[in-house]
Amino acid sequence: MGARDMKYITHLLSRYGRALLFGAWFYALIGLLPQGYQTFLRPEFGGLLAVGLLALIGFLFSEMGQFGHDRPFGLNEAIRLLILTVPLAYLPIARTASLDSNAFQRRWTGLSASPDEKTLMSTNTALDISALNTERVREVTLADLCRMPRAYKNRRLAVVGMIHRAPDIKKRFGDNACVLFRFVVTCCAADAMPAAILLIGEVPADWPNDTWIRAEGQFALRDDQGKPMPTLELSKATRTAKPRRPYLY
């Protein structure tokens, strides 16, 4: 590539570089907008993305309105354009990814009910619903269980999540123990926190980590070194497909 070609490319980028960039981002956001963005963000962000898209259209038109003019184009502008293109290159991989055991290991801070729940457990008996009918299996989410474990104590529950087997869990709770987890998203996948319970029972050994299962059993709060630990004593485990929305909100 000669100096003349370089000059021509620089000329093209100075005139159309930003418009191309905004166009590429516009295309990416349009592709994400119906529902695809929910891989990254909670559903309510759709409206915000639409607003952002409108702003981007404005920027695109503004750049197209200046097609006839050369703007100064140096190394700094080239770096800016290149850096702003980088996320677009990661978008295809990111769209097929979801938070899994790998993320769970990094973000998990341990199994126990929150301190509020602990206080509630020792002082408040009004919410004790363990005496209610426990025969019927109730479908709950892991987020519900982690937010209000006391409300589900001693009940027969069915819950969907991914399994995670770790040596330290086996060491502490026995060979038939593993963790059932799912991520709870506040705004985006970056702030997702694992909601996890201990699973005690026979989960087929050939099911690897991150297998989606529907676990059915008796929910309990076990005492673990003075801390209440949400536990499901497994009576039945079945493999299920990955939910349409893998995260909880």
Find the binder of another protein among 10, 14, 98, 154 (CB under 8 A).
98
126 binds another protein (CB under 8 A): no
> Which residues within the stretch 31-90 sit at the binding site for another protein (CB under 8 A)?
32, 37, 39-41, 45, 48-49, 51-52, 55-56, 58-59, 61-63, 65-66, 71-72, 75-76, 78-80, 82-87, 89-90
x-marked contacts with another protein along 171-210 as a string, rule CB under 8 A: ---------------xxxxxx-x-----------------
Q: Give min distance, CB of 27 to another protein, in A.
A: 14
Count of residues that bind another protein according to CB under 8 A: 66
Q: Give min distance, CB of 4 to another protein, in A.
A: 21
Q: Residue 4, Cβ neighbours under 10 Å: how many?
A: 8
What is the binding site for another protein (CB under 8 A)? Answer: 18, 22, 32, 37, 39-41, 45, 48-49, 51-52, 55-56, 58-59, 61-63, 65-66, 71-72, 75-76, 78-80, 82-87, 89-94, 96-100, 102-103, 105-110, 112, 114-116, 118, 186-191, 193, 227
